[in-house]
Amino acid sequence: MFHDTGRHVEPTFEEEIRNGLLKVKDLGVVIPALMGREFQEEFSNFPPLLQQRILYDIWSNFRPITEHRTADIVHQCDREAILGPAVIGRGVAFDVVVANRDIPIAIEDALAQRLPTPESAQDTNWLIQYEFFGRNVYPATTPEGKKAEFRNKVDNAAILMLSLHNKSPEHWDQVFGPERGLYTDELHWTKKKMSEGVYSEALQEQQAFLTKLPDLNLVCPTSQAGIIEFTRKALMVDKVVIPKNFDEAFGKKLSECSDVDLNNYWMIMVFALLKRHTYRKNDLIWYQKACRVDKSWTFQTASRWVIDELMSREEKFTQEFPEIMAS
């Protein structure tokens, strides 16, 4: 929720950020206020101490681990929102358009053994940032979280693999050197080897997607305008706020891509769409079953918010991508 709300706020203050009048990290203080306003009617019904606890759980999310179970769950959800299919749409809007990061992964010898830290001066590529998070995200704190963490890391690695489809072996060695047995004694902590099993399962995920892709009734747009329109629709499904200069700024970034890079970018977006669709359906089934068991007011209220949001996004997905639904 921190990331989703933050991505909404950042484009709103785009000019102030660009002119140095406001720092992105300073916007964090408005997150609890925005949440309270968004859910004001329901939130005001919570006991005062519970209201304070919720705000603490949100605002303490920079801490790796706390002694509070609910805070740790908030942190865990936050970590799940910085890698994998969930972040791709927001990444296009923010990392590519607002932060001016490149789409394709270029050959740079230094990146084979060390990655730039997020938001540093060297953090100039959309996908390399997700490679960093895939290798270095804080570990989950619950058994359920560990399963989600592994799933997200596999999806994240598969996305990186799709970005390298039909690219040179040098690209693969640069991104996946540790997993391919290269540079084992010379790696910086930012390039630590992926968790056990992630690389092999990601290879299977990538191949399964490439096999399924021809049956989806989708074709990569041949024009820049077509890719922009496809991207807009994908972002609308996840309710990503689209910056005012999106078409111009994103079009400029697309013009720097080769035909292979454009096709790979499109495949990444399709992969993320399908994964999000699958996970939303699974989540809906879980919440609907759980609501029949847990009748407490707190669970019923929170579940209703989540179910309404998931169903809203599923309706938008069906509306914008009927060809996928028909496949």
Q: How far apart are CA 192 and CA 179, in angstroms?
A: 9
- Contacting residues for 286 by C-beta, under 8 A, at least 6 apart: none
Q: Which of residues 284 and 144 earns the better pLDDT score?
A: 284
Please say if the pLDDT value at position 150 is more than 80.
yes
- How many angstroms separate the Cα of 174 from the Cα of each of 103, 122, 164, 216? 16, 16, 11, 31
**What are the pLDDT digits (tens) for 152-166?**
999 999 999 999 999
| Inter-axis angle of helices 169-176 and 143-163, nearest 10 | 160
Tokens of 61: 């999310």
Contacts of 283 (CB under 8 A, 6+ apart): 306, 310
Q: What is the dihedral of CA 101, 107, 111, 113, to 10 degrees?
A: 160
Look at residue 71 and tell me whether its pLDDT is greater than 50: yes
Cα torsion at 178, 179, 180, 182 (round to 10°)?
Answer: 10
Domain-wise residue ranges, the chain: 87-282
pLDDT band, very low/low/confident/very high, at 41 (cuts 50, 70, 90): low
Residue 1 scores a pLDDT above 50: no
Give the separation between CA 260 and CA 250, rounded to whole angstroms. 17
